[in-house]
Amino acid sequence: MTNGAAGAAVFGAVGAAIANAIKASGAIISVEPQEFLTILGRTEKPLVVHSPSGFLAKYKYLTSYKGLVFFSQSKDPLLIPASVELITAKRIWIPQM
């Protein structure tokens, strides 16, 4: 196999892995931080998964509302209401298209 063919095979495999990750996770809707907080206010018993910021990384947040998954990220931590159940994750990875 030539280097070009090997590179194409790797690229194809990576593309397939991303497509499979999206299929497994379903649709993830990216929203601005303020909209994310608005969604939390509409939810009866909100649950948020968040990952703290790291080197060159932003704070990331996930929640579910009416069967959809919402994602937001911010350079500063969001002021999550005390009534929200909060789970801290080591890392949140969202497939990119």
Residue 60 and residue 73 in contact, taking contact as beta carbons nearer than 8 Å: yes
The pLDDT > 90 percentage for the chain reads 56
Q: How many angstroms separate the CA atoms of 71 and 25, rounded?
A: 12
Residue ranges of domains in the chain: 27-88
Series of mean pLDDT values for 10-residue runs along the chain (97 residues): 51 57 70 97 94 83 94 94 94 78
At the second CATH level, the architecture of 27-88 is 2-Layer Sandwich (3.30)
What is the pLDDT, as a whole number, of residue 7?
46
Which residues, other chains included, contact 11 with Cβ-Cβ below 8 Å and sequence gap of 6+?
A: none
